[in-house]
Amino acid sequence: MLVDVLNRRSVYLFSAIRIFLFSPWPSAISAPYAAVVMDARTGKVYHSRNADTRLHPASLTKMMTLYIAFQAVERNEISLDSYVKISANAAAEPASKLWLRKGQKIKLRYLIRAAAIKSANDAATAIGEAISGSETAFGKRMTRTARALGMNSTTFKNAHGLTQSGHLSTARDMSILGRHMIYDYPQYYNLFSRRSASARVATVRNTNRKLLNSYKGADGIKTGYTRAAGSNLVASAERGGERIIATMFGGSSSAARNARVVKLLDMGFARAPSTAKFQKPALPHYEADYLNSSTGRRVTAIKRSLRPETRPVQKPGGQIELILAQVSETKTQPNDILRALKAATSDKIDTQVSANKTPEIVKKVSPRARPSKLSFVSTLIINDQKTKKIGKSLYRAWSINVGKFNTRYQAERVLVRTALAEERTLNGADRTVKARATGYDAIFRGLTRDSADLACRRLNAQDIPCYTISPS
């Protein structure tokens, strides 16, 4: 009997050893550690460890999802009150989630709250699909935006951050993204400090509330956890005008993660000077066409103007006289409101006629025949989708945005000034001022895709900010 007992114990011991050695344990235990401590005011790094090691970001990914959502709202691609229809793909995402149903419609603002506060995976996927048409296309836009922000070691494959091959980032890149989130869209940053909020279908609670409640000055921004990543966190705190960003990958638990991040934040405040010259990070600079197409398709402008020019007119005496309207090329400065006002109210006419007398009225003017074929720049296809109808480029439903201003008056003056400077390119466009919570957008409407693209190219060449807005 004693032998039987010993044999059973041996079997149990062997089984325990086997389970210990070969069973899949949560990979958070062995997830690589990485950390960065950054001065948000200057971007200076005070501490780093494995800062450039490519690791699984987990739900830190949603920072980029939300950054692009804010960007899309500001660029009129979508509005906070736009209803988003939930796809089967979004509804099937695993928890954490808002438990949205296939076919359900919900406003974008509630999806943003759910993704930012609860870290809901279904909400994040729905946001990406609403902006770019598919999760794959949105992942490409996320990566393009990351490159534009200087996140050179980051590649995104999805909007939520669940583990996927090739979906990787670094502690340094996530610190850069956190800094841009704070300063590029300060009007939305308060989302990350809310302990709870209504997402219409449910009240969501902040996944980072323990740190927010316990650390003085903490006001965001995003947690993340998967078995492959461990417990991740990008945290920010402000004290007496000093702001520190601490990023950590690979915590064994949320409690251990929070304890380590507290030490990192304390380190940052200890090393940061009381005063530092604030250096706001530059906004991402890339072609606006990528931001305005849900399909990810871009067609460049035509090389030549579509507008035919009139032939010289021959008078009865046989002499050919050219009547030229000489309009000077003016380099427009959007913020120079006084010049815009002067240009708008000026009684001068820059048109000169070669003869002192009014030229004779010509009964018949024969325009030059429209060319049979128009020369287009090569077409860039991002999603391998062929552009079937070039004729759609002539559809006058495109717009351009030439700046955001503090007052309606400023926006209107700049619209007038720009219209005078680019009379030929913007001929027939309607001037519109759109009021937003962050200011007033100066917009030209009623352009073709080609004319909108050409106008922005000409204005950008004059250091005037301009981006195109596709038909919604």
Q: Which two three-digit tokens encode residue 297?
A: 């398709």
Taking the C-alpha atoms of residue 232 and residue 452, their distance in angstroms, rounded to an integer, is 43
Q: Residue 14, exposed/middle/buried by CB under 10 A (0-12, 13-18, 19+)?
A: exposed
CB contact at 8 A, 222 and 55: no
Spatial neighbors of 221 by CB under 8 A, at least 6 apart, are: 63, 178, 181, 182, 189, 192, 208, 234, 235, 236
Spatial neighbors of 357 by CB under 8 A, at least 6 apart, are: none
DSSP state of 40: T
Taking the C-alpha atoms of residue 280 and residue 378, their distance in angstroms, rounded to an integer, is 37
Q: Which two three-digit tokens encode residue 228?
A: 């492959």
* 346 labelled catalytic: no
Active-site hit among 87, 96, 118, 119:
119
Taking the C-alpha atoms of residue 84 and residue 104, their distance in angstroms, rounded to an integer, is 8
Taking the C-alpha atoms of residue 408 and residue 9, their distance in angstroms, rounded to an integer, is 83
Cis peptide preceding 96, ω within 30 of 0? yes
Taking the C-alpha atoms of residue 246 and residue 255, their distance in angstroms, rounded to an integer, is 16
* 59 labelled catalytic: yes
For every residue of 369-437, DSSP letters joined together read PPPSS--BPPPEESSS-----GGGGG-S-EEEEEEEESSHHHHHHHHHHHHHHTTTTTTTPEEEEEEET
Question: Is residue 28 helix, strand or coil?
Answer: helix
Quickly tell me which residue has 């993704």 as its tokens. Answer: 115
How far is CA 16 from each of CA 118, 336, 340, rounded to the nearest angstrom? 38, 77, 81
Three-state DSSP string of 324-352: CCCCCCCCCCCCCHHHHHHHHHCCCCCCC
Q: What is the dihedral of CA 435, 129, 84, 147, to 10 degrees?
A: -30
Q: Beta-carbon neighbour count of residue 80 at 10 Å?
A: 15
Taking the C-alpha atoms of residue 452 and residue 169, their distance in angstroms, rounded to an integer, is 36
Active-site hit among 59, 87, 132, 175:
59
Q: Give catalytic residues, as residue numbers.
A: 59, 62, 119
